[in-house]
A and B are shown apart, each in its own frame.
Chain A
Amino acid sequence: MLDDEIELPPDMRSWRDEVAAESEQLRAEGRTPLWNGPRYAVEAFDISRTALDERPEVHLRLRPTDYYTFLAAQQLDRRLPDGTTPRSRYLDPDQPLKAPAFLQCSFAVNIAVVTADDMLVVSQRSDRVRMAPGVWNSSVNEGLSRHIDSSGRSAPDLHSVARRGMREELSLEPHEYSLDLLAFVLDIGKRHWSGHFYAKLRDLKSSDLQARMSRGVADRWEHQRIDYVPFRPAAVVRYMLRDDRVHRWAPLAPALFHLSLVHAYSRTLVERVEAQITRRL
């Protein structure tokens, strides 16, 4: 964890002021102002291997920021006074992992939840959320919060963030599921980082989960619809490629479902099924 807050370049600072002004305007009109919570920006992401068993070691360097800065920096294709855009000025398509921290103000966990009766939970984001409204997404999507997920200068624990997301979005407690971190994934379009998790419910079936959620969910407003898809390679792949889904996915979700299938069924089987289905399209 680094101490200094993210600073936007001088010619992007007014964009953050615009976001703050919009929020004040909404407040003045008696409407809900924009939320502005403390967040993390990704300063650096490094991977190494342990000497003996070559297990991955992931090093994350995070820097404090807030949601308004994130919203300002998300305007990657807006013109700057010199005619360039943040994307053309700061990002190199051939080096996707290199980017200044102020363009990477988002780190979230995405979880593929599979019920005890082998149904994959797929959520549709609410039309009320500011980022990517209405798209189909992972079962749980939870951003790292500087306020909730770290005490003092300690770094956030990604598994704890995932457990918080499970509680807030699906009303599930840690003893009710197993949790595995499968991958780190970067959306190079919007510069969003994600820890991709797979959670398997021990006893709760899809009907139990629906009943549980009917009794109250903290962040219910974030989702507007939830689908339950049989968690078999052919069923999940066909679902992802359905005409009414194929172009309506949040960028990070399909990779999550693919990795979860590989985790549960093996790469060989999943690749074979995917090849068969895409060939017949």
Chain B
Amino acid sequence: MAGIDVANGVVGAVIGMLFAVLFQQPLQDAWFRLRKRSTRALRSLGRREESGPAWRTFSLGPLQTSALIVEGDGESPIPPETV
């Protein structure tokens, strides 16, 4: 009987090891996806439809200004002849 128990234990260990090697990554991925989806679903419960003006004044962190950049992005200068 003891021989059979040892053999069962060894077979179980081998199968467990094989299972872990073969399915560890897919299982981890699935668990990660499940956590991510549930977090997103919980967060989205508090979200509402949003709408804002296309024109917003310039701000930089706590620095809020009433300056509206109407034309120009800094990268390309506006040629004098086009004004």
Contacts and interface: CB of A to CB of B under 8 A. Distances in A.
Given A158-B80, A159-B80, A188 B63 contact: no
B65 A249 contact: yes
A176 to B, nearest CB: 18
B73 to A, nearest CB: 7
Grouping DSSP codes into helix (H, G, I), strand (E, B) and loop, the A interface class, with mixed when no group exceeds half, is: mixed
A159 B71 CA distance: 16
B71 A183 contact: yes
Interface string A220-260: 00000000000000000100110000100101101100111
Contact of A183 (B57, B62, B78, B80): B78
Size category of the A interface is 35 or more
Contacts of B65: 249, 251-252, 254-255
A188 B78 contact: no
Q: B62, B74, B77: which has the most chain A beta carbons within 10 Å?
A: B74
Given A183-B72, A240-B60, A56 B82 contact: yes
A180 interface: yes
18 contacts: A47-B71, A60-B83, A159-B80, A181-B78, A182-B72, A184-B71, A184-B78, A188-B66, A189-B66, A196-B72, A237-B60, A249-B63, A251-B66, A262-B74, A266-B75, A278-B60, A278-B62, A281-B61
Interface of B: 53, 55, 57-58, 60-63, 65-75, 77-80, 82-83
